Chain A
Amino acid sequence: MIPLRQFGRHNVKISAIGFGGHHLGDAPDEPAAVRLVREAVDGGITFFDNCWEYHRGKTEAWMGAGLAGVRDRVFLMTKVCTHGRDKALALRMLDESLHRLRTDHLDLWQIHGVCFDNDPDLFIRKGGAAEALEQAKKEGKVRFVGFTGHKDPSIHLKMLATGFPFDSVQMPLNAFDANFHSFEQQVLPELNRRGIAALGMKPICGHGSPVQKGVLTGEEALGYAMSLPVTTTITGIDKPEALQQALKVAQDFEPLQPAAIKALRDRCRQYAADGRFELYKLSLQFDNPEARLAHGFPLDMQQVEVREMLRMADNSGRPFPPTK
Chain B
Amino acid sequence: MVGAAGLAASGQSGAEIPRRPLGRTGLEVSALGIGGYHLGSADSDAEATQIVNEALDAGVNFFDNAWEYHQGVSEERLGRALKGKRDRAVVMTKVCTHGRDKNVAMRQLEESLTRLQTDHVDVWQIHEVIYENDPDLIFAPNGAAEALLEAKQQGKVRFLGFTGHKDPSIHLKMLSHNFPFDTVQMPLNCLDATFRSFESNVLPEVNRRGIAALGMKSLGGSGELVSQGAVVVTMGLHYAMSLPVSVTISGIDSLGVLHQNLEVARGFQPFSAAEMQTIRDACRFDASDGHMELFKTTKKYDGDLGREMHGFPSSAELPA
Check A283 for interface membership: any CB of B closer than 8 A: yes
Task: Name A115's closest neighbour in chain B (CB-CB).
Answer: B289
B interface, over-half SS: loop
Check B5 for interface membership: any CB of A closer than 8 A: no
A117 touches B319 (CB 8 A): no
Inter-chain contacts of A273 with B (CB < 8 A) = 132-133, 136
Min CB–CB distance B197 → chain A (angstroms): 12
Check A276 for interface membership: any CB of B closer than 8 A: yes
A118, A180, A274, A300: the one contacting B288 at CB < 8 Å is A118
A117 touches B298 (CB 8 A): no
Check B70 for interface membership: any CB of A closer than 8 A: no
A295 touches B298 (CB 8 A): no
Min CB–CB distance A268 → chain B (angstroms): 13
Query: Can you list, as one digit per residue, whether each of A100-138 has a CB less than 8 Å from chain B (1) or not (0)?
Result: 000000000000000011110100000000000000000
Min CB–CB distance B165 → chain A (angstroms): 13
B134, B196, B291, B298: the one contacting A283 at CB < 8 Å is B298
Complex Cα spacing A271 to B132, Å: 11
Complex Cα spacing A275 to B132, Å: 8
B288 touches A284 (CB 8 A): no
A-B contact count (CB 8 A): 70
Check B195 for interface membership: any CB of A closer than 8 A: yes
Residue total for B at the interface (Cβ-Cβ under 8 A): 25
Check A321 for interface membership: any CB of B closer than 8 A: no
A296 touches B320 (CB 8 A): no
Min CB–CB distance B310 → chain A (angstroms): 5
Check A243 for interface membership: any CB of B closer than 8 A: no
A296, A305, A306: the one contacting B291 at CB < 8 Å is A296
Inter-chain contacts of A306 with B (CB < 8 A) = 319-320
B320 touches A274 (CB 8 A): no
Min CB–CB distance B172 → chain A (angstroms): 16
A117, A276, A298: the one contacting B310 at CB < 8 Å is A276
Chain B interfacial positions (CB closer than 8 Å to A): 131-134, 136, 195-196, 228, 288-291, 294, 297-299, 310-313, 316-320
Question: Could you pull out 11 A-B pairs where Cβ atoms are within 8 angstroms?
Answer: A121-B288, A273-B132, A273-B133, A275-B131, A276-B312, A279-B312, A279-B313, A285-B320, A296-B289, A297-B320, A306-B320
The 7 closest A-B pairs by CB, nearest first: A273-B133, A118-B288, A116-B289, A276-B311, A274-B131, A303-B319, A283-B299
